[in-house]
Amino acid sequence: MSELYGRIDLSKTNYNVTLEYKVLQHPDVERISSIYRDYCLYKQFESVMPLFREEFFYPQTDMIAYYDEDVIVGFTMMFRYNTHSVAAAQFAWTYHKPEIRLGINSLHHICAYYKSERYKYLYLGDAAEYKQSLDGFEICGPI
């Protein structure tokens, strides 16, 4: 069985999401790891990719932290491949207020953020159904 991979053509997006966020220069690895662990337990994932401390500090990594009342409640780990392609490597959040829908709103946010930074494509990994509803979604074809 083959797996499909998806990306967003950022030129086809026009999201305007207001989230309290910061691109972290010095991420709190313990806090982010704790959020990730709790998120995986909450979602009852059978298997997960571990987060390695070194990933937080790679020069091509952007750690975007999301806040609620000045407390980190979620994050997106991004990898910049080059000057026009970026990948959403990992996301997690606390589910402290499910009604804010941080999962989908963070996707809208990173689309808007990286479009403003003049990136062309946002790679999403697997083409899960919820990702396919994003503006500019496309299946990655063979090279």
Query: Taken in order 11, 9, 39, 53, is the CA torsion positive or negative?
Result: negative
Q: For residue range 124-143, list pLDDT tens digits in order.
A: 988 889 899 999 999 998 86
Q: How confident is the model at residue 2 (pLDDT cuts 50, 70, 90)?
A: low
CATH class, domain 5-139, is alpha beta
CA 41 vs. chain centroid, Å, equals 18
Supply the pLDDT for residue 25: 93
Query: What does pTM read for this prediction?
Result: 0.92
* Type and span of the H or E element at 106: helix 102-116
Bridge partners of residue 74, in order along the sequence = 66, 93
> What residue segments make up the domains of the chain, in order of their start?
5-139
Nearest to 25 by CA among 54, 52, 51, 57: 57
